[in-house]
Amino acid sequence: MPDFSFELAAFANGAQWVVGVDEVGRGPLAGPVTAAAVRLNPDNVPHGLRDSKQLSDSRRRALADEIRATAQVAVAHASVAEIDDLNILRASHLAMLRAIAALPQAPDHVLIDGNLLPRGLDISAQAVVKGDARSLSIAAASILAKVVRDDIMVDLAQHFPGYGWAKNAGYPTAAHLQALKALGVTPHHRRSFKPVHNILYQENNVNP
């Protein structure tokens, strides 16, 4: 279970505004990558924070409401075009930087999920491997980012039916892959990802 030890260590080193940052959406074939930055109130941390993947949708949404009500938060995205242009890692880091910049107060220390810090991050920071399972602030960010991104994919599903995005959030499920072959590539598919790229390549090389 995640705890507050990383945050307490930062406080002990003089930090006052410690923020957890996580992203959701590296694996999908469609949709943006979404990042959240969360500064928890140490005196009012929502109970039950953990890696968003370990929670039911209803529990994630209840916790997201609690996080918004008790913490300072910001959410940001990198678009499909940016993912294809930069690569998914750099786009994920871009979304993280945007989320940090959108906070109502600039942090003096950030806890970043993963093993790499984003390029251009000019404040004190620590990369935390499996951070959403170790840090309460990162866990809160993972929950908020997933809820926001899932809602985006539900909305996109209304405009592009047949791909199952309301349920699969753009991930390469068997049904999504089958729909991609049957219905084709949408503007929201990531063309740099192999399954999408392969379909486009085949379409461009069909014999007349």
Residue 59 lies in a domain: yes
Q: How far is CA 193 from CA 110, 157, 172, 173, in A?
A: 30, 20, 10, 14
Is the pLDDT at 20 greater than 50? The verdict is: yes
Six-digit token string for 81: 């075009």
83 contact partners, CB below 8 Å, separation of at least 6? 32, 33, 91, 190, 192
Q: What is the pLDDT of residues 57-94, one digit of tens each?
A: 999 999 999 999 999 999 999 999 999 999 999 999 99
**CATH label of the domain that carries residue 63:** 3.30.420.10
Residue 176 lies in a domain: no
Q: Tell me the pLDDT band of 208, cut-offs 50, 70 and 90.
A: very low
Residue 18 lies in a domain: yes
Q: What is the pLDDT of residues 97-113, one digit of tens each?
A: 999 999 999 999 999 99
Q: Give me the sheet containing 18-24, strands edge to edge.
A: 72-78, 33-39, 18-24, 109-113, 125-128
Residue 169 lies in a domain: no
Q: Tell me the pLDDT band of 207, cut-offs 50, 70 and 90.
A: very low
Q: Tell me the pLDDT band of 202, cut-offs 50, 70 and 90.
A: confident
Instruction: Report residue 34 CA to chain centroid gap.
Output: 4
pTM (2 d.p.): 0.95
Helices (H), the chain: 5-12, 57-70, 80-86, 88-101, 136-159, 165-168, 174-183, 194-204
Q: Tell me the pLDDT band of 203, cut-offs 50, 70 and 90.
A: low
Residue 85 lies in a domain: yes
Q: Tell me the pLDDT band of 131, cut-offs 50, 70 and 90.
A: very high
Q: Which domain holds residue 52?
A: 5-149
Mean pLDDT of the chain: 95
Q: Are 18 and 7 in contact (CB under 8 A)?
A: yes
Q: What is the pLDDT of residues 141-187, one digit of tens each?
A: 999 999 999 999 999 999 999 999 999 999 999 999 999 999 999 99
Where residue 159 falls (left for φ over 0; alpha for ψ -120 to 50; beta otherwise) is alpha
Number of independent structural domains in the chain: 1
Residue 159 lies in a domain: no
